[in-house]
Amino acid sequence: MSRVIEPGARVLVTGASGLLGRSVAQRLTREGYLVTVLQRGASDLDGVQEVRGSLTDPAAISRAVQGQHAVIHMAAKVSVSGRHEDFVEVNVRGTQRLLDAAQAAGVTDFLHVSSPSVAHAGASLIGAGAGPADPRHAVGSYAQTKAEAELIAQARGGSGLNVLIVRPHLVWGPGDGQLTSRIIDRARSGRMPILGSGAALVDTLYIDNAVDAFIAGLRRLPQIAGQRLVLTNAEPRPIGELITGIAAAGGAPAPRLRLAPGLAKGAGAVVERLWALSEKLAGPRADEPPMTRFLAEQLSTAHWFDQRATQRALDWAPQISVDEGLERLREHILRTGAVR
């Protein structure tokens, strides 16, 4: 029988400060894995070994990988704006450093977390599979550098390291300080647009389902290494419906701002230039631009994925539907008063 990664194995999780990384680290700990986290700030997670540092720090990376059986690599620079070189340093060179250190330390299994945007050149993706990463045609610094990082990780497979690539698509749910909170915040302030008719079908992934998939991927990694898998709820919905549902769960009104996709892309190009000039003159900004070409593309094109190969490989299927996830999000916000 092929080897599986059982509880008791030592697992390094990078990027455990975000919702997905934190949730995966917590679940692994509860299930009996010995978890180390690598991140810049305090994790505030019980039962984990913590290494403070970043993917730009070779010494911290070296400490983190010592004695590990497996690595789940989630840490990345995630933004729709910023200097391209900063994305390269974290997403590309950081992944290279981590792979080098992992192999030097004798790590055998590596779960590399990528993004469907690495294979999205702008056209609609309808029932798509996990196409090859393409840095030349990916849109924006994040997607381009994640595509480069994926190719680096993929190339290490078979050289003494089992590599599995997973691409979670639009993870959302309670505790999400990115997609979920941004939709709700912008809807509350009347700045959340619907592009075109809002009818383009889009897949998303509820947080609990994402964690289940990651655990399944880690456990079966030695058996399914070499594959790349897109992870979704397998419930494509009109994007306008999804945005309105998430906004409503947060008590925000349905977005009324409507923009033509072409106008939004043109505005996004202008905003990107102005944003870059602003950051050049005054330094990095804490906020993000209201529109970019990448955002316009994501809000106006279909992107949903055939999940049959993914579910077979992982022996996994989503347990929480989009509708149940929206209800859980609504209850969380009513109970806590916050999305995060």
How far is residue 40's CA from residue 221's CA, in Å, rounded to a whole number?
27
Active site residue 142: yes
Strand partners, 247: none
Tens of pLDDT along the chain (340 residues)? Answer: 468 999 999 999 999 988 999 999 999 999 999 999 998 888 789 999 999 999 999 999 999 999 999 999 999 999 888 889 999 999 999 999 999 999 999 999 999 999 999 998 878 899 999 999 999 999 889 999 999 999 999 999 988 899 999 999 999 999 998 899 999 999 999 999 999 999 999 999 999 999 999 999 999 999 999 999 999 999 999 999 999 999 999 999 999 999 998 998 898 889 888 888 888 888 888 788 888 888 888 888 999 999 999 999 999 999 999 999 999 999 999 999 887 7
How far is residue 173's CA from residue 179's CA, in Å, rounded to a whole number?
9
How far is residue 256's CA from residue 270's CA, in Å, rounded to a whole number?
23
82: Cβ contacts below 8 Å, ≥ 6 apart = 141, 279, 284
In contact, 78 and 15? CB cutoff 8 Å: no
Catalytic residue among 33, 87, 110, 142: 142
Q: Specify the pLDDT at position 2.
A: 67
What is the length of the chain?
Answer: 340
**What ranges in 39-167 are assigned the alpha helix state H?**
58-65, 84-87, 94-104, 140-156
Strand partners, 201: 238
29: Cβ contacts below 8 Å, ≥ 6 apart = 35, 45, 46, 47, 48
Q: What is the dihedral of CA 315, 12, 80, 147, to 10 degrees?
A: -60
* Residue matched to tokens 């592009």: 195
Q: Is 130 helix (H, G, I), strand (E, B) or coil?
A: coil
Q: Kindly state which CATH superfamily the domain 10-169+205-233+306-319 is placed in.
A: NAD(P)-binding Rossmann-like Domain (3.40.50.720)
- Nearest C-alpha neighbor of 168 from the set 221, 219, 220, 112: 112
Q: Specify the pLDDT at position 43.
A: 78
How far is residue 64's CA from residue 68's CA, in Å, rounded to a whole number?
8
How far is residue 54's CA from residue 85's CA, in Å, rounded to a whole number?
16
- Nearest C-alpha neighbor of 114 from the set 243, 217, 238: 217
Q: Specify the pLDDT at position 81.
A: 81
165: Cβ contacts below 8 Å, ≥ 6 apart = 112, 114, 130, 150, 153, 154, 227, 228, 229
Q: Where are the domains of the chain?
A: 10-169+205-233+306-319
Residue type, 83: R
